[in-house]
Amino acid sequence: MIENLPNWINWTFILTVIFTVGLFHYAYGKPKKITLLIIIWSLLQSILAFAGFYRNTEITPPRFLFVLIPVLVFLVYGLTNKPRNWISQNSRMELSTFLHTIRILIEIVLFYLFTNKMIPELMTFEGKNFDILAGITAPIIGFLWIKKFIGKKILIIWNVLALVLVLFIFVIGILSSELPIQIFGFEQPNKAVIYFPFILLPATIVPIVIYTHITDIIKLWKQKKTAYNNGYK
Is 89 a member of any domain?
Answer: yes
- Is residue 2 in some structural domain? no
- Which of the residue ranges 26-35, 75-84, 90-99, 156-165 would you say has the lowest mean pLDDT? 75-84
Contact 188, 130 (CB under 8 A): no
For residue 179, the model assigns a pLDDT of 86
Who wins on pLDDT, 228 or 195?
195
Nearest to 101 by CA among 28, 162, 155: 162
Least confident of 38-47, 108-117, 217-226: 217-226
Q: Which of 136, 134, 109, 137 is nearest to 123 (CA)?
A: 109
Report CA torsion sign: 143, 145, 148, 154: positive
Task: Judge whether residue 108 has pLDDT over 90.
Answer: yes
Confirm whether 233 is domain-assigned: no
Mean pLDDT of the chain: 92
Is this prediction's pTM over 0.75? yes
Q: Domain range for residue 221?
A: 7-225
DSSP, res 59: S
| Tens-place pLDDT, residues 141-180 | 999 999 999 999 999 999 999 999 999 999 999 999 988 8
Nearest CA to 199 out of 78, 56, 44 is that of: 44
Per-residue burial over 83-119, b = 16 or more CB atoms within 10 Å of its CB, e = otherwise = bbeebbeebebebbbbbbbbbbbbbbbbbbbbeeebb
Q: What is the predicted pLDDT for the residue at 29?
A: 87
**What pLDDT is stored for residue 220 in this prediction?**
93
pLDDT in tens, 82-96: 887 887 788 899 999
pLDDT range class, residue 228, cuts 50, 70, 90: low
Closest CA to 211 of 168, 144, 166: 166
Inside any domain, residue 197: yes
232 occurs within a structural domain: no
Query: Residue 230 falls within a domain, yes or no?
Result: no
Residue 147 covered by a domain: yes
> Domains in the chain: how many in total?
1
| Any domain includes 1 | no
Look up residue 51 and give its DSSP letter: T
| Banded model confidence at residue 57, pLDDT cuts 50, 70, 90 | confident
